[in-house]
């Protein structure tokens, strides 16, 4: 599966390449320790930083509603009903993924990206876990939760309706049950395709594996099972993501991240082999 990278995918720009870290006797240092990260000089506390609207090129007229949604989502995602596998830092990474997908796709598919409203993409990426079904209370719907949050933040009606419509379609679980229907909707709404890829990329690779361990400690069902379940899920769930990626950029990055997970699994199985005593 991991050898299916076509020549066209190999030619895509590597928009995930990071700025080289600074070396020190305490290990690699982040060039910007105010950002969340695993570098030794980064804070251990969860990030409160809002998105840089200049970097995202948010139109001036839309900035008040964009900031309002950003602040509301940050408060929501740090609520007691959620855990660190689904928090505001996850939202930061998904918006970052969406931004990088758009950057790359503008180069290789300019006609396709011309149909996309970036503000819809970023807002949908921000609110995609608002009302997430596995955390919802009985009687609530994700559409209503998203619609209410956006309305309270003054999001313009056409944008609000589009975001509220596509967010419940982002879920991998939902698409696996209604594959052809959701695939067709992603063709009609390219913003959906970008947000789906952006969210799924954060579910694989080293960050995806880490989030899987965290969710395993927070979820009651998973706490009744072995720690190895987080690695076993590579086979039963995460490798399926590749066939559901919608953009060439997302597919290329998914291949790379799944390769990292495969290497991790080999080392995990070596370090956890207890056959010499059991």
Q: Report pLDDT for 95.
A: 98
Q: How far apart are CA 14 and CA 272, in angstroms?
A: 34
Residue 19 within any structural domain of the chain:
no
Higher pLDDT, 193 or 5: 193
Structural domain count, the chain: 1
Q: How far apart are CA 264 and CA 256, in angstroms?
A: 13
Give the closest residue to 194 by CA, choosing from 129, 133, 104, 108: 104
Helix/strand/coil percent split, the chain, to 5: 60, 0, 40
Q: How far apart are CA 175 and CA 272, in angstroms?
A: 34
Q: Report pLDDT for 240.
A: 93
Percent of the chain whose predicted confidence (pLDDT) is above 90: 75
Q: Is the pLDDT of residue 1 over 80?
A: no
Residue 126 within any structural domain of the chain:
yes
Beta bridge partners, 29, equal: 22
| 147 confidence band (pLDDT: 50, 70, 90) | very high
Higher pLDDT, 57 or 222: 57
Q: Report pLDDT for 17.
A: 66
Residue 265 within any structural domain of the chain:
yes
Q: Report pLDDT for 87.
A: 96
Residue 264 within any structural domain of the chain:
yes
Residue 115 within any structural domain of the chain:
yes
Q: Report pLDDT for 138.
A: 74
Q: Is the pLDDT of residue 216 over 60?
A: yes
Q: Report pLDDT for 5.
A: 47
CA distances from 37 to 26, 31, 84, 210, 269 (A): 15, 11, 14, 13, 27
Residue 266 within any structural domain of the chain:
yes
Q: Are 233 and 221 in contact (CB under 8 A)?
A: no
Q: Report pLDDT for 133.
A: 79
Least confident of 206-210, 221-225, 228-232: 221-225
Longest alpha-carbon distance in the chain: 67
Q: What is the CATH number of the domain that holds 182?
A: 1.10.3210.10
Residue 159 within any structural domain of the chain:
yes
Percent of the chain whose predicted confidence (pLDDT) is above 70: 91
Burial class of residue 72 (count of CB atoms within 10 Å of its CB; 0-12, 13-18, 19+): middle
Look up the domain containing 146 and give its range: 53-271
Q: Are 203 and 211 in contact (CB under 8 A)?
A: yes
- Encode pLDDT of 94-142 as tens digits: 999 999 999 999 999 999 999 999 999 999 999 999 988 777 777 788 9
Q: Is the pLDDT of residue 242 over 50?
A: yes
Residue 252 within any structural domain of the chain:
yes
């Amino acid at each position: 599966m991991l050898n299916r990278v076509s020549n066209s995918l190999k030619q895509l720009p590597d928009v995930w390449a990071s700025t080289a870290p600074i070396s020190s006797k305490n290990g690699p240092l982040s060039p910007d320790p105010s950002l969340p990260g695993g570098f030794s000089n980064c804070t251990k506390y969860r990030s409160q930083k809002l998105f840089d609207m200049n970097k995202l090129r948010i139109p001036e007229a839309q900035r008040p509603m964009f900031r309002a949604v950003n602040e509301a989502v940050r408060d929501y995602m740090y609520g007691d009903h959620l855990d660190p596998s689904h928090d505001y830092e996850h939202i930061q990474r998904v918006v970052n993924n969406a931004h990088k997908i758009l950057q790359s796709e503008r180069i290789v598919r300019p006609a396709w990206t011309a149909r996309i409203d970036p503000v819809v993409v970023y807002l949908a990426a921000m609110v995609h876990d608002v009302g997430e079904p596995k955390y919802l209370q009985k009687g609530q719907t994700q559409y209503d939760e998203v619609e209410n949050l956006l309305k309270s933040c003054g999001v313009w009606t056409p944008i609000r309706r589009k975001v509220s419509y596509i967010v419940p379609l982002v879920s991998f679980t939902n698409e696996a049950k209604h594959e052809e229907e959701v695939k067709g909707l992603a063709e009609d709404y390219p913003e959906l395709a970008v947000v789906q890829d952006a969210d799924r990329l954060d579910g694989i690779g080293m960050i995806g594996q880490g989030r899987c361990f965290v969710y395993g400690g927070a979820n009651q069902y998973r706490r009744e099972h072995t720690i190895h379940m987080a690695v076993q899920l590579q086979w039963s769930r995460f490798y399926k993501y590749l066939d559901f990626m919608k953009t060439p950029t997302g597919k290329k990055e998914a291949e790379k991240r799944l390769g990292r997970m495969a290497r991790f699994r080999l080392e995990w199985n070596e370090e956890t082999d207890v056959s010499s005593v059991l």
